[in-house]
Amino acid sequence: MSKLKQKLQDKIPEYRERVGNLIKNHGQVKVDEVKMFQIYGGMRGLKSLTTDISYLDPEEGIRFRGYTIPECLEKMPKPPGAEMPYVEGHFYLLLTGEIPTQEDIQSVVEEFSGRSKVPEYVFDVLRAMPKEAHPMSLFTAAITSLQRESLFVPAYNSGISKMDYWDPTYEDSINLLAKLPEIAAFIYRLKYKNDDQIGSDPSLDFGANFAHMMGIDAPYDEISRLYFMLHSDHESGNVSAHTTHLVGTALSDAYFSFAAGMCGLSGPLHGLANQEVLRWVQGVMEKMDHKIPSKEEMKKFVWDTLNSGQVIPGFGHAVLRKTDPRYAAQREFCLKHLPDDEIFKIVNLLYEVVPDILVEQGKAKNPWPNVDAQSGVIQWHYGVTQYDFYTVMFGVGRALGVLSNLIWDRAVGQSLERPKSLTTDMLEKIAREASK
């Protein structure tokens, strides 16, 4: 058994006891109540999910296992000479709740690289898909094609105990995670580089190997580590995390569950927003003939977008009520490495004008930028200008969090998710009775 799996196995009994105690001794304690607007309003703010992988405070932003982004960047071990920590170490933290040592990380790096070879049939599937298929369509197809490798399915069919479900789920999750960088880079080079593929180098860490297979020089390895870490998790209620969890509660294996989550990530209100930001910025640049707009000109672009009934991509959030620390971390990287970049200047200008306009418009509860407002700038600067690819990289990062969560769901025996629905007649009756 690998060191990581052993560590997980050692932690499971205590966690089961804590959850068991909550259900058995406090099962009737009221945590929250559902209001009418939440039923029609996407269950916003309803406290009805649990995860220990990360927590999103509306004012402070994300904490991964209790650590803020700056704390993770400072405390987590890094590859020799690197600025950004190992992705493998971040996965270790998400899964176990502990900051790994260099030695711990080394064993995860080896575990991942030993499982990273993508079967040839996955590439055949991708090559057979229509040329104009969206990269997220290719990404989900690759994941579902890999589902035949699931170890959970034969274990379930052979009658494995519910107590042991976490074990093949762990195996499936690591097998899938380890292959995602190569799948993503393959999709990129298939679609945009005439299928001129660059083979994986298993001696490299997760982030560096991705950069190598993309064919982009340093510091793209640093960007990849930062990008995957920042996008890994955002507690349980966002569409990709919730969908992966929901589908997983039907005991669909890690491949099906994660693919479902990735279909959710592909929506423009969620992960696709990063491509929408670049598309919007490109529109501005074209109209300006590649001249940086003045503040007044930018305000007009923003109002025109709002007045035509569209959202300003990369701004607002369902939970956050301040600038997203994931935005701030990427902004810092830009200030250090690409302060004169044309798109960075435009995105900075947006930061100056959009919040006031959204406040003036009076609709968005959070006028501040989210992660997606900044991530495309860095990608564009280092040559990844094909912005419809950005959500695939978001997906590779998101896998770290949602698969960690799925393993813990299985460890604690999370039930099939099945909330109750009511008809409009019933809700009207409840409303009438409440107003008597």
- Give catalytic residues, as residue numbers: 270, 317, 372
Neighbours of 22 (CB within 10 A): 12
Cβ distance to ligand CMX smaller for residue 201 or 304: 304
Residue 319 CB burial class (10 angstroms; 0-12, 13-18, ≥19) = middle
> With contacts defined by CB under 6 A, how many residues of the chain interact with ligand CMX?
22
Q: DSSP assignment of 188-212, as one string? A: HHHHHSTT------TTS-HHHHHHH
When CB distances to ligand CMX are compared, the closest residue is 316
Q: Which of 153, 180, 312, 407 binds ligand CMX (CB under 6 A)?
A: 312
Rounded distance between C-alpha atoms, residue 390 and residue 381, angstroms: 13
The CB-of-369 to ligand CMX minimum distance in angstroms stands at 8
Question: Residue 279: which of 138, 373, 392, 140 has the closest Cα?
Answer: 373
Q: Is 33 helix (H, G, I), strand (E, B) or coil?
A: coil
Q: Does 238 bind ligand CMX (CB under 6 A)?
A: yes
User: Measured between alpha carbons, how far is 396 from 232 in angstroms, rounded to an integer?
Assistant: 8
Spatial distance between the Cα atoms of 239 and 227, rounded to a whole number of angstroms: 19
Minimum CB–partner distance for residue 404 and ligand CMX (Å): 18
Q: How far is the CB of 185 from ligand CMX (least distance, A)?
A: 22
Phi, psi of 51 (to 5 degrees): -160, 145
Q: What are phi and psi of 266, to 5 degrees?
A: -80, 5
Is residue 291 at the binding interface for ligand CMX, with CB under 6 A as the rule? no
Nearer to ligand CMX, 242 or 270 (CB): 270
CB of 302 to ligand CMX, least distance (A): 9
Return the range that interacts with ligand CMX (CB under 6 A); candidates 78-86, 130-138, 283-291, 312-320. Answer: 312-320
User: Could you say which of 271, 325, 376, 395 contacts ligand CMX (CB under 6 A)?
Assistant: 271
Backbone angles phi, psi at 286, to 5 degrees: -65, -45
Which CB, 314 or 395, lies closer to ligand CMX? Answer: 314
- Position among 204, 273, 278, 378 found at the interface with ligand CMX (CB under 6 A): 273
Interface residue with ligand CMX among 314, 355, 395, 401 (CB under 6 A) is: 314
Q: Give, as ranges, the residues between 372 and 401 that touch ligand CMX (CB under 6 A).
A: 372
d(CA 244, CA 417): 12
Among 90, 134, 317, 381, indicate the residue that binds ligand CMX (CB under 6 A): 317
Judged by CB under 6 A, the chain residues 18 through 77 that form the site for ligand CMX are: 44
Is residue 318 a contact point for ligand CMX (CB under 6 A)?
Answer: yes
Question: Site for ligand CMX (CB under 6 A): which residue of 165, 256, 315, 408?
Answer: 315
Which CB sits closer to ligand CMX, 124 or 360? Answer: 360
- Write out the two tokens for 388: 């419809």
Is residue 357 within 8 A of residue 302, CB to CB? The reply is yes
Q: Which residues contact 107 (CB under 8 A, 6 or more apart)?
A: 2, 3, 4
Residues 348-367 that bind ligand CMX (CB under 6 A): 363-366
Cα 286 to the chain's mean position, in Å?
A: 30
Q: Which residue has tokens 């001794």? A: 25
Residue 311 found at the interface with ligand CMX (CB under 6 A): yes
Query: DSSP code of 388?
Result: G
Residue from 7, 90, 134, 270 touching ligand CMX (CB under 6 A): that is 270
Contact 88, 205 (CB under 8 A): yes
- Chain centre distance of CA 54: 12
**Span near ligand CMX by CB under 6 A; candidates 92-100, 155-163, 241-249, 306-314:** 306-314
Tell me the closest approach of the beta carbon of residue 314 to ligand CMX, in angstroms: 5
Binding site for ligand CMX (CB under 6 A): 44, 238, 269-271, 273, 306, 311-318, 363-366, 370-372
